[in-house]
């Protein structure tokens, strides 16, 4: 049981407790790609643009969509006026310019496109102008994303590290007791965005995010009424939640894809034959079944985007789910493998990560690998994956994102360091192209080389289970659930 230092319970008027998988290790969303950080910080930090329910980019702190020059190089972005920061100061173009300049220096996604941005200038009190040196089609999607996010801070607080965030969101950070709770309270100075972004009501006085690393504890807390919402639940709990009088399940279908992220910077996986051996050995059907238990929760599908998505293609998928340990052993022989341990970094806070890793370990050992399982808490994994000396593969997952360029693993600047010149050239063509059909064709090339060079290893598609109290309204199933429109019915 989690002991809170804040009085009250999930059923208290105007207050909810939300169970998340762990404690955010930062409240600066620029420097993090972790979902647990995005879920919390989106309530108090905001970006120029956001996504609507259809995945379209719409204005948030911007007053409108940008005016874009005919050559696609100059973006003139009008800013909303009358927007207040939590410290009482007013947002202006100087704050936005300085924040975006910091984003290019400290955020993985900002660093990934910094070489394409010629300048960012405050071209008026409520206007900024971004000038590129080459067209970059995904720019607005990057500015809208809440993960490694281009959020806006007051210029005065900007530094390499920001300990106490000051944002513009409907809630503000009130307290943080590590490993106990993050307390958010309503920001009375909040001004609503335009209709395209949707209303962000401050119905609740307080939202508390409670780190609960164990999935069974999250389930039991939801069923007992302790939590009004619980994220990332074991699919085995679906029937119990569905039959509960207190709670109900929320199923995101399909949600995303589990990934074996590959260390291209140093170690075993820098050898293409070793990467091919891992790819060939993995029994993806068995891994998905071990992780999710029922086919209604997963699909064994090699396309990086599922059927029905713009980006769906079969290119390269003949290398998906080979499940041939003998062939993997041949690749190991070609590589001259000497028994050096393959280090798999994973965590049990996302239990399905660990379950997939266990099945993978057995298949890899059958192929001839020596496997070292490094099972740590999620905060440690997030820290260790930034050090290429500590792992060969780490296990993660991602929702299906509306723009493929939001997948940081494709970029050489990402922590995995996939710096294949042919892939880089394909990616440059993809991001520079603005014609939708041409982009789809180039993306098919990107998926093909992802398989051929084993840039990363997709396990399959999965549906994500969340749960909410039946009396909680205004909250929908989402990769990053938001609670600004939430309310409790009595």
- Both 300 and 220 in one domain: the answer is no
- Both 127 and 198 in one domain: the answer is no
CATH of the domain at 226: 3.40.190.10
- Both 280 and 384 in one domain: the answer is yes
The residues facing 76 across adjacent strands are: 67, 129
- The CA-atom distances, in angstroms, between 264 and each of 96, 360, 415, 423, 471 are 35, 20, 9, 13, 48
- Percent of the chain beyond pLDDT 90? 89
pLDDT one-digit tens code per residue, 187-202? 999 999 988 999 999 9
31 lies in a domain? no
How far apart are alpha carbons 1 and 13 in whole angstroms? 22
- Both 269 and 405 in one domain: the answer is yes
What pLDDT does 315 receive? 98
How far apart are alpha carbons 471 and 77 in whole angstroms? 41
- Both 459 and 477 in one domain: the answer is no
29 lies in a domain? no
35 lies in a domain? no
The distance of Cα 254 from the centroid of its chain, to the nearest Å, equals 15
Give the number of other Cβ atoms within 10 Å of residue 70's Cβ. 6
What pLDDT does 9 receive? 40
- Both 270 and 388 in one domain: the answer is yes
CATH of the domain at 116: 3.90.76.10
Candidate from 115-119, 210-214, 292-296, 333-337 with smallest mean pLDDT: 292-296
Q: Domain boundary at 128, 155, 182, which? A: 155
Question: Rounded mean pLDDT of 430-442?
Answer: 95
30 lies in a domain? no
- Both 94 and 177 in one domain: the answer is no
Residues 6+ positions from 266 with CB-CB distance below 8 Å = 388, 389
- Both 334 and 384 in one domain: the answer is yes
- Both 455 and 475 in one domain: the answer is no
Cα torsion 91, 192, 52, 110 to 10°: value is 10
Expressed as residue numbers, the domain containing 418 is 254-463
137 lies in a domain? yes
Say what the pTM is.
0.85
* Nearest of 38, 46, 3, 32 to residue 20 by alpha carbon: 38
Q: Domain boundary at 103, 128, 155, which? A: 155
pLDDT one-digit tens code per residue, 85-100? 999 999 999 999 999 9
33 lies in a domain? no
pLDDT one-digit tens code per residue, 239-291? 999 999 999 999 998 899 999 999 999 999 999 999 999 999 999 999 999 99
- Both 113 and 61 in one domain: the answer is yes
As given in the structure block, the two tokens for residue 13 are: 């008027």
- 490 in helix, strand or coil? coil
Question: Rounded mean pLDDT of 324-332?
Answer: 98
- Both 87 and 182 in one domain: the answer is no
Binning pLDDT at 50, 70 and 90, where does residue 349 land?
confident
3 lies in a domain? no
Residue 8 has pLDDT above 60, yes or no: no
Residues 6+ positions from 207 with CB-CB distance below 8 Å = 15, 16, 18, 43, 171, 183, 184, 483, 486
What pLDDT does 285 receive? 97
CATH of the domain at 376: 3.10.105.10
Number of domains, the chain? 3
* Nearest of 215, 210, 211 to residue 234 by alpha carbon: 215
Q: Domain boundary at 155, 185, 217, which? A: 155
Give the number of other Cβ atoms within 10 Å of residue 105's Cβ. 11
How far apart are alpha carbons 193 and 178 in whole angstroms? 32
What pLDDT does 13 receive? 57
Average pLDDT along the chain: 94
303 lies in a domain? yes
- Both 212 and 268 in one domain: the answer is no
**Angle at Cα 247 formed by Cα 228 and Cα 222, nearest 5°?**
50
pLDDT one-digit tens code per residue, 125-134? 999 999 999 9
What pLDDT does 11 receive? 40
Higher-confidence position of 254 and 342: 342
């Amino acid at each position: 049981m989690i002991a809170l230092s804040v009085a009250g319970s999930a059923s208290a008027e105007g207050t909810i407790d939300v169970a998340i998988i762990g404690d955010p290790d930062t409240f600066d969303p620029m420097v993090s790609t972790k979902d647990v950080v995005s879920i919390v910080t989106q309530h108090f930090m905001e970006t120029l643009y956001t996504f609507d329910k259809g995945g379209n980019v719409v204005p948030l702190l911007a007053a409108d969509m940008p005016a874009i020059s005919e050559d696609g190089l100059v973006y003139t972005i009008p800013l909303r006026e009358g927007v207040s920061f939590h410290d009482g100061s007013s947002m202006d173009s100087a704050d936005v310019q300085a924040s975006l300049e910091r984003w290019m220096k400290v955020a993985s996604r900002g660093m990934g496109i910094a070489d394409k941005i010629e300048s960012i200038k405050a071209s008026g009190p409520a206007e900024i102008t971004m000038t590129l040196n080459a067209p970059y089609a995904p720019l607005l999607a990057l500015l809208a994303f809440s993960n490694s996010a281009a959020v806006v801070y007051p210029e005065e607080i900007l530094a390499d590290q920001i300990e106490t965030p000051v944002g513009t969101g409907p809630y503000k950070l009130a307290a943080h007791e590590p490993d106990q709770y993050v307390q958010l309270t309503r920001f009375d100075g909040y001004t609503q965005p335009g209709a395209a972004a949707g209303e962000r009501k401050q119905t609740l006085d307080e939202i508390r995010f409670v780190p609960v690393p164990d999935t069974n504890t999250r389930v039991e807390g939801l069923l007992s009424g302790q939590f009004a919402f619980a994220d990332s639940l074991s699919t085995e709990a679906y029937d119990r939640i569905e039959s509960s009088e207190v709670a109900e399940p929320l199923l995101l279908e399909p949600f995303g894809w589990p990934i074996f992220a590959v260390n291209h910077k140093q170690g075993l996986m820098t050898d293409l034959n070793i990467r091919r051996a891992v790819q060939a050995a993995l029994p993806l059907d068995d891994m998905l079944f071990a992780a999710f238990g029922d086919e209604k929760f997963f699909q064994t599908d090699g396309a990086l985007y599922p059927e029905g998505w713009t980006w769906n293609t079969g290119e390269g998928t003949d290398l998906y789910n080979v499940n041939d340990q003998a062939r993997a052993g041949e690749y190991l022989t070609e590589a001259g493998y000497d028994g050096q341990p393959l280090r798999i970094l994973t965590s049990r806070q996302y239990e399905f990560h660990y379950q997939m890793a266990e099945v993978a370990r057995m298949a890899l050992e059958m192929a001839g690998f020596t496997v070292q399982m490094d099972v740590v808490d999620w905060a440690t994994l997030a820290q260790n994956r930034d050090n290429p000396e500590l792992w060969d593969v780490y296990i993660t997952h991602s929702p299906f994102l509306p723009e493929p360029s939001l997948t940081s693993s494709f970029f050489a600047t990402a922590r995995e360091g996939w710096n294949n010149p042919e892939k880089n050239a394909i990616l440059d063509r993809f991001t520079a192209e603005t014609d939708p059909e041409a982009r789809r064709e180039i993306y098919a090339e990107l998926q093909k080389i992802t398989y051929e060079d084993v840039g990363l290893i997709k396990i399959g598609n999965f549906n994500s289970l969340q749960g909410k109290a039946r009396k909680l309204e205004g909250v929908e199933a989402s990769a990053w659930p938001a609670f600004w429109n939430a309310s409790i019915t009595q």
